[in-house]
Amino acid sequence: MRRLPSLTALRTFEAAARHAHFGRAAAELCVTDSAVSHQIRQLEEQLGSTLFERDGRQVRPTPQARRLLHSLQQAFELIGEACDELRDPGSQAQLRVAVTAELAQKWLVGRLADFAERHPQITLHLHEQPLEATLPGSEIDIAITYGTGPDDASAYFVRPLPTLQFFPVCSPGLFNQSPLKHPRDLARHCLLHDDQDGKTWTAWLTTHAGDIQPTRHLYLGHAGLTMEAAARGQGVAIGDNLTSAEDLASGRLVRPFAAQVPSLGQYALVCERLRLDKPAAAHFIEWFTDQLVDL
């Protein structure tokens, strides 16, 4: 077994780095400020590395220390879960999944009844995954992210979803009232955006509509909101084969054009490899993979 620094020193470092303050760490740990300073000095000597940059009473972890902080927080979380399982074996059936708001609203939630039917012993806690976040939070078992995903394949299990295709969608009423026969007809309509920089619409228009310049735009927080606004006839949104599928199948939305472009990013299921041994996580990943078959 490799030689590790004392657990007390590591716990002290984690608290000090998280608070960026030795005094607040001392208060949390119920020790004196000098005891915290002593533990940090001891840990720095053992590791042969400076852990903090000091600015008066404030401290900032060095870049190397921030990496250590992240690893410690993950390790302490896993230790805590293992202890909880010993105290309450039923806690193994608790699963925390984070997912982006649009994917939860327009695709995942409607399928969870099937997961519950297959695994009634698992209690699922669904959290929102910020769109810009590429990793699960420290208390999250599985995250469904959007973007490039984590770089460290040795630490994370990653299952990419199929590449999305983007295409315009609108309500049947809007389509019938003001027919969209050619992409250039979009110049007369309000474009609904699920991003604040308009890149998704720009990519589609550049490819299929030349140099038209629509003058009406509405910017919303995520694709779930743009799909709802489109279904209510407020404009034309950019849909995709994942978040638009149910509304297209039900007839709430229609595709005025077949033309599409590949998505600028990609969804992926991300799980720390250390959590793959948790039965509930393994069951969810197996179920989730089954849901991707028809995409």
Per-domain residue ranges of the chain: 5-84, 88-161+264-291, 164-260
**Hey, what CATH class is 164-260 in?**
alpha beta
Measured from the Cβ of residue 43, the count of other Cβ atoms closer than 10 Å reads: 21
pLDDT of residue 92: 56
Q: Residue 213 — pLDDT band, cuts 50, 70, 90?
A: confident
Judge if 88-161+264-291 and 164-260 fold alike in CATH terms: yes
The separation between CA 222 and the C-alpha centre of its own chain, rounded to angstroms, equals 13
**Hey, what CATH class is 5-84 in?**
mainly alpha
Q: Mean pLDDT over residues 119-142, rounded? A: 89
What are the tens digits of pLDDT across the range 221-280?
888 899 999 999 999 999 998 889 899 999 999 999 999 999 878 899 999 888 888 889
| Burial 132-167, CB ≥16 within 10 A → b, else e | ebbbbeeebbbbbbbeebbeeeeebbebebeebebb
Over 80: is that where the pLDDT of 84 sits?
Answer: no
DSSP letter (8 states) at residue 125: E
Rounded to whole angstroms, how far apart are CA atoms 208 and 202?
10
pTM over 0.75: no
pLDDT of residue 2: 64
Angle, in degrees to the nearest 10, between helices 7-19 and 63-87: 120
Domain spanning 88-161+264-291, CATH architecture: 3-Layer(aba) Sandwich (3.40)
Q: Residue 89 — pLDDT band, cuts 50, 70, 90?
A: low
**Between 39 and 149, residue with greater pLDDT:** 39
What are the tens digits of pLDDT across the range 47-65?
999 999 987 767 889 988 8
Rounded to whole angstroms, how far apart are CA atoms 174 and 95?
42
242 contacts 267 by C-beta, under 8 angstroms: yes
